[in-house]
Amino acid sequence: MALEDALGGSVVLTKLDKAIGWARKYSLFMYPFVTACCGMEYMATAASHYDIDRFGAGLPRFSPRQADVLFVVGTISHKQAPILKRVYEQMCEPKWVVAFGGCTCSGGPYDNYATVQGIDTIIPVDVYTPGCPPRPESVLDGIMRLQDKIQNQKQEI
């Protein structure tokens, strides 16, 4: 008697790491930390024309304890840096960070004492989405790059 006959249908064999990675890839719970003009492009990406929901990331969470992806959108000042770090620390593991826009990635045109020159000096960043502001297509590309990273990493249970 074959294994397929004993179970009464088709059988899927895979590694647990791959199955968990696939499930996490399509269930992104994003926390938007929006501080500046890039927020409009973030909202445009979530609208019906680009439909971020098809990537499993349609419903933003507004509590860091319910989110696993931190979207840092816009300019971060040194006064906001401790708040951003606290939000990051409140998120449960596993957690990922997306730097959205030129100001978030590198400080943008603001080379002064008040602006953080890249949030990677405060928290670790997984995906950079550059642009001023980044087009929704590049945001979707960043989400796909994050999904590839999530699926291919070693899954902690």
Asked if 54 and 139 touch (Cβ cutoff 8 Å), the reply is no
What residue ranges define each of the domains in the chain, with the CATH number in brackets? Answer: 29-149 (3.40.50.12280)
Distance CA 135, CA 46 (A): 12
pTM: 0.83
- pLDDT per residue of the chain (157 residues) written in tens, 0 to 9: 555 565 566 666 677 778 888 888 888 888 999 888 888 888 888 777 888 888 877 788 888 898 999 999 989 999 999 999 999 999 988 899 999 888 898 888 888 889 999 899 999 999 999 888 888 888 889 999 999 998 888 777 6
